[in-house]
């Protein structure tokens, strides 16, 4: 094959993959995002952009193992019914305003401890059930679940998939990640609660005026004490391992293995909640990005972005925000990872990338998978429209991103 052909192939593969990531699917062949990334990764090897060995080396098995292991852990918690006890916690808050704040903190803190997508999967039906029984409009509470899950997930490297990728590629240890970003995450959760309370004050006030009936909720089945002790011991051990600086993937894998040692959950059922599409998407993007780097695609694109001043925090943040709401936050991180590694202080830029790629997810309904999960789960009983989300998402996104930029300049910008 002539020397120029792999370069052309690299350009075609990269452009097709990222265009489909932006529009959602390839209409002609009915390929979704994951499918086109897999085809693109395969084509990169087939057209000699990468050798099979180079494609193998492009895979970051640490990130893939971390993501897979955390999915197993959360899946077991869901199947055991541990996370369903959030229903009993939220039902303690009798006023609509109190319930709103409880959802903000439950979704935010839960997403910091687990993957935010799964927290949305668990909390959305609970919130719908509470809203229905109390006869209150579900919209502000659904927005609280989605937006708080994005903001809360910023606090730790295991809160969302892009954080896992950033922590792995940037070699950022768990304690450093939490110490740097948890304060910002917690403060922005407070901001979110205030914005939602202000924008829905009439709805919440009217709902508060309605008499609240004692209602029969579908409570989770009681769990034996030993299940609680065992589960808390495993999760506590994982947090200690993370905090002591051990390998995130290694600790998560040990936790997942320990979770499997139970007879209460069948392994096949636990694997049902694993997002295999996301794992394939990650693996494929590792290869597509490596092919784009070898073919000179990324170097040319980084040069083309110079007019937007990506070497400044504001310019870089604008690029990340646009990419996160078009191709998605994970592909955006893959695309910009090479640029970050070229900076004089890459760690600072990794943190900025984590902040913006996560918080920009609140700007629009399609800004994060967590938002789409909430909308999908609620579509039958309480549809969450793009416009309704945008009305709240823009102010929340702009305020939290501005605070994140100010915080970044305060800590790293000097």
pLDDT digits (tens, 9 = 90+) for 139-185: 999 999 999 999 999 999 999 999 999 999 999 999 999 999 999 99
Element (H, E) at 19: helix 4-23
C-beta of residue 395 within 8 angstroms of C-beta of residue 149: no
C-beta of residue 168 within 8 angstroms of C-beta of residue 63: yes
pTM: 0.84
**Predicted pLDDT at 3:** 56
Residue 32, beta-bridge partner list:
25
What is the sign of the dihedral through the CA atoms of 7, 8, 9 and 11?
A: positive
**Predicted pLDDT at 121:** 82
Pick the closest to residue 175 from 155, 151, 160 (CA basis): 155
**Predicted pLDDT at 218:** 55
Q: What is the pLDDT of residues 278-295, one digit of tens each?
A: 889 889 988 998 998 888
CA dist., res. 355 & res. 329, Å (int): 11
Query: At 32, phi and psi to the nearest 5?
Result: -85, -175
**Predicted pLDDT at 414:** 56
**Predicted pLDDT at 209:** 46
The DSSP secondary-structure symbol of 380 reads T
**Domain range for 390:** 4-413
Neighbours of 269 (CB within 10 A): 12
**Predicted pLDDT at 221:** 63
Largest CA distance in the chain: 77
Which ranges of the chain have pLDDT less than 70? 1-4, 82-84, 87, 207-223, 414
Element (H, E) at 183: helix 174-199
Total number of domains constituting the chain? 1
Angle at 233 between CA 228 and CA 237, to 5 degrees: 150
């Amino acid at each position: 094959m002539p020397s120029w052909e792999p370069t052309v192939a690299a350009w075609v593969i990269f452009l097709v993959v990222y265009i489909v990531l932006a529009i959602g699917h390839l209409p002609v062949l009915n390929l979704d995002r994951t499918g086109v990334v897999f085809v693109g990764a395969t084509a990169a090897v087939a057209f000699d952009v990468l050798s099979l060995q180079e494609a193998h080396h492009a895979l970051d098995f640490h990130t893939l193992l971390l993501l897979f292991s955390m999915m197993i852990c959360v899946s077991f918690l869901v199947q055991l019914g541990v996370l369903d006890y959030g229903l009993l916690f939220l039902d303690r808050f009798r006023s609509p305003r109190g319930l709103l704040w409880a959802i903000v903190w439950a979704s935010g803190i839960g997403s910091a401890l687990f993957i935010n997508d799964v927290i949305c999967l668990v909390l959305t039906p609970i919130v719908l059930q509470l809203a229905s029984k109390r006869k209150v409009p579900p919209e502000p509470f659904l927005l609280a679940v989605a937006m708080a899950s994005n903001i809360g997930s910023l606090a730790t490297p295991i809160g969302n998939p892009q954080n896992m990728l950033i922590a792995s590629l940037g070699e950022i240890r768990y304690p450093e990640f939490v110490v740097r970003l948890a304060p910002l995450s917690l403060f922005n959760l407070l901001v979110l609660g205030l914005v939602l309370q202000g924008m829905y004050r009439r709805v919440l006030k009217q709902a508060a005026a309605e008499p609240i009936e004692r209602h029969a909720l579908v409570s989770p089945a009681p769990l034996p004490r030993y299940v609680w002790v065992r589960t808390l011991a495993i999760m506590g051990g994982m947090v200690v391992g993370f905090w002591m600086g051990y390998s995130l993937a290694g600790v998560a894998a040990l936790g997942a293995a320990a979770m499997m040692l139970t007879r209460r959950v069948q392994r096949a059922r636990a694997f049902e909640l694993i997002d295999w599409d996301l794992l394939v998407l990650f693996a494929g993007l590792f290869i597509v990005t490596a092919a784009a780097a070898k073919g000179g695609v990324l170097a040319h694109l980084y040069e083309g972005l110079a007019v937007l001043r990506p070497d400044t925090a504001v310019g870089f943040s604008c690029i990340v925000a646009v990419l996160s709401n078009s191709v998605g936050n994970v592909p955006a991180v893959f695309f910009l990872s090479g640029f970050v590694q070229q900076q004089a202080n890459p760690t600072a830029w990794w943190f900025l990338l984590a902040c913006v790629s996560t918080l920009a997810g609140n700007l629009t309904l399609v800004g994060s998978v967590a938002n789409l999960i909430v909308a999908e789960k609620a579509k039958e009983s309480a549809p969450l429209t793009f416009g309704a989300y945008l009305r709240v998402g823009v102010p929340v996104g702009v305020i939290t991103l501005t605070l994140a930029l100010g915080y970044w300049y305060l800590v790293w910008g000097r």
